[in-house]
Amino acid sequence: MTSADFQKNVPKIELKLSTFSGSTECNAINGNLFSKGSKEIQFLNLTSETKKCSTAKKEEEFVKLLKTTTSY
């Protein structure tokens, strides 16, 4: 997945102490952030708006990647 997969804006995430928020391009996302040790991270309880977007497949792929991420 690259920025070329999105038409207007690339996905972005703002991390806080135990939460995150951001957007997938046209839908807002947020949830809880869990970190355990060095380079381990999980995006939990992720919620997303459900606006219809022309990049819906790539947005779904991005959200799925966040849900399955365990390290960075």
For residue 7, what pLDDT is reported? 62
Helix and strand numbers, DSSP H then E, in the chain: 1, 4
For residue 2, what pLDDT is reported? 60
Domain residue ranges of the chain, discontinuous segments joined by +? 3-68
Q: How many CA atoms lie within 13 A of 42 on its CB side?
A: 8
Give the pTM: 0.77
The residue-averaged pLDDT of 35-42 equals 87
Of residues 5, 40, 39, the one with CA closest to residue 24: 5
Helix (H, G, I), strand (E, B) or coil at 41: strand
Instruction: List the structure tokens of 8.
Output: 């207007």
Q: From residue 2, how far is each of 18, 36, 58 by CA, in Å?
A: 27, 28, 10
